[in-house]
Chain A
Amino acid sequence: MKSSKRLWPCNEAAGKTATFRADGYRTMTREKLVKTVNLLLPVLGIAIIFFYAVCDTDCSYLKGTFLGVDLKALGILYMAALLALTIPFAQGYPQLVNHLRTMMLSGALGGEVILVRFQVINDIYCQFCLAFGLCILALFTVNFNQMQKHLALGAFLAGIAAFALFFTGSILPLYS
């Protein structure tokens, strides 16, 4: 029964209907982990962008836009959308949610390739942007097993292409 998909009802006597797979505890733990990460990392991502926008000891100029929209605003919207996929209503459409999450995470990972490249080229590194990228990488890794691989690859390449075409970055503040 190793890695069987059959579910085993238990605890019915106690009035509970908890179910778990043949490999029981480990599967439940992993599902919990994925759910927790899918909930916490988008919140962390939004917090990172807010910290980046605040000038504390100095104000950083490293800026980027995608189709003219500031990446900070886009990042907040993106993480909010990922967070929305975790709400109970969305759980009623598990396949759609999984496909959406696959496309969003893979596409963003492709975009991150361009964003990191931009920092490498200009030899200017933004720790908040890199931390945000790590959040996406962690989300991608945790959800990878559930992803449809062809869809993930397609979205990853589309993300690279979209950012290569429509991303504009500026590192130096200059007078026009």
Chain B
Amino acid sequence: MILKNHFVISLLVVILAWLVLPGAVAAQPRAAHLASFGSGSIEVRIYSDYFCPPCQATEPAIEPVLKDLLKRKLIRLVLVDTPFNRNTPLYARYFLYALKSAGDLEQAFRVRKILIEAARKSLTTPEQIEALFHEQRIAYTVFDTKPVLAGLNSLIRGDNINATPTAVIIREEKKTAYVGGNEILKALMALQ
């Protein structure tokens, strides 16, 4: 009986040790990206998904603040489409196609607004998005987005993004992440 008890206790201790000492996690690489604007000393990365309701509400709210920060050359903005939804990669591709054609900030924000509306209407095929772009007179150039998307993957890994919307602000080598619309807005306003 004593032997049996020792066996059970030992078993539970082994399980507990396995739980507490999980081992090392590999370091994440970082890579280059495309959708970046401005040349300020502070880097602001906005991680967002067209299909995530809080992101849909956050993007219009932070747009004027971001524009102001860019106008004053305080920040360098990187827009990172984060594929939480299975249809997001399609939307991210068309966002990049549109940027390839006209890569200015105004166009980027306009395309994002249109894509958010498309997500609300549940448009999920390339034909539907192309029809919408034609209707809204958005020029786009099809190209191989794999290297850019691989760069976005590196950013997502490097910043350990597991929720959207998230803003990562890199200032004087110090990286801080803000999750949720209100937190992001507060953090951006503090930069003004």
Q: Is B53 part of the contact surface with A, judged by Cβ < 8 Å?
A: yes
Interface residues of A, dominant DSSP: loop
| B11-60 interface (Cβ within 8 A of A) | 11, 15, 18-20, 22-23, 25, 49, 52-55
Interface positions of A from 53 to 104, Cβ below 8 Å from B: 55-62
Flag if A60 contacts B19 (CB, 8 Å): no
User: Does A175 touch B at the CB level, under 8 Å?
Assistant: yes
Tell me the A residues contacting B by CB distance below 8 Å: 55-62, 113, 116-117, 120-124, 153, 157, 160, 171-176
Cα distance A123–B92 when bound, in Å?
28
A-chain residues with CB within 8 Å of residue B84 when the two chains form the complex: 59, 61, 173
Least CB distance, A70 to chain B, in whole angstroms:
13
Query: Which residue of the partner chain, among A61, A113, A175, contacts B163 with CB atoms under 8 Å?
Result: A61
Interface residues of B in 100-153 (CB under 8 A from A): 149-150, 152-153
| A172 lies within 8 A of B8 (CB) | no
Contacts A172-B156, A173-B82, A175-B92 known; A60 to B162 CB distance under 8 Å? Answer: yes
Given known A-B contacts A121-B22, A121-B25, A123-B25, A58 and B157 have beta carbons under 8 A apart: no
Residues of A within 8 A of B83 (CB): 173-175
Given contact pairs A173-B88, A173-B161, A175-B83, a sample of 11 additional A-B residue pairs in the complex whose CB atoms are under 8 Å apart = A57-B179, A58-B179, A58-B180, A59-B53, A59-B163, A61-B164, A113-B19, A121-B23, A123-B25, A173-B83, A175-B152
Instruction: Tell me whether B165 and A122 are in contact (CB under 8 A).
Output: no
Complex A-B, nearest 10 residue pairs according to Cβ-Cβ distance, in ascending order: A57-B180, A175-B149, A121-B22, A59-B52, A58-B180, A58-B163, A61-B162, A60-B163, A174-B153, A173-B83
* B-chain residues with CB within 8 Å of residue A116 when the two chains form the complex: 19
Q: Is B182 an interface residue (CB 8 A)?
A: yes
Most chain A CB within 10 A, of B156, B162, B163, is at: B162
Q: A129 to B180, alpha carbons, bound, how many Å?
A: 19
Interface residues of B (CB under 8 A from A): 8, 11, 15, 18-20, 22-23, 25, 49, 52-55, 82-84, 88-89, 92, 149-150, 152-153, 156-157, 160-166, 179-182
When chains A and B are docked, how far (Å) is the Cα of A169 from the Cα of B46?
Answer: 25
Decide: A124 and B180 in contact? CB cutoff 8 A. Answer: no
Closest CB of chain B to A165's CB: distance in Å? 15
Evaluate contact between B162 and A172: CB separation under 8 angstroms.
yes
Contacts of A120 in B (CB 8 A): 19-20, 22
Q: How far is the CA of A120 from the CA of B152 in the complex (A)?
A: 25
